[in-house]
């Protein structure tokens, strides 16, 4: 059972890229490593609510949706570029 929990944590942290960007998870850093995936989404609990991400490859562009809980900020790191995230819905076509 422990290995399954670790696998889930690593899926969220590594594949979806959701990680703490500051102490106490007060800021969120999202840096996905999608490999050959072309569509994936999920959400995780956060002390202020939930963090939800969605990645969809359409043609040569990624449609990325990120929802952060209230009173939470963050940043998306995508191919060495950093995009600021605000609480609520954030959408990108990259």
- Condensed to tens digits (0 to 9), the pLDDT of residues 56-87 reads 999 999 999 999 999 999 999 999 999 999 99
pLDDT recorded at residue 7? 57
Range of the domain at 53: 2-93
Number of domains in the chain: 1
Q: How far apart are CA 38 and CA 48, in angstroms?
A: 29
Across the chain, mean pLDDT equals 88
**Is the predicted pLDDT of residue 49 greater than 80, yes or no?**
yes
Percent of the chain with pLDDT over 90: 68
Write out the H or E segment, with its range, that includes residue 54: strand 49-58
Q: How far apart are CA 18 and CA 34, in angstroms?
A: 12
CATH number at 47 reads: 2.60.420.10
Model confidence over 2-11: pLDDT tens digits?
A: 344 445 777 7
């Amino acid at each position: 059972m422990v290995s399954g929990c670790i696998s889930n944590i690593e899926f969220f942290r590594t594949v979806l890229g959701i990680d703490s960007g500051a102490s106490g998870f007060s800021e969120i850093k999202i840096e996905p490593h999608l490999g050959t995936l072309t569509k994936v989404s999920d959400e995780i609990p956060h002390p202020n609510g939930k963090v939800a991400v969605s990645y969809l490859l359409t043609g040569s562009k990624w449609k990325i949706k990120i929802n952060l809980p209230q009173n939470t900020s963050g940043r998306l790191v995508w191919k060495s570029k950093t995009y600021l995230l605000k609480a609520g819905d954030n959408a990108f076509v990259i």
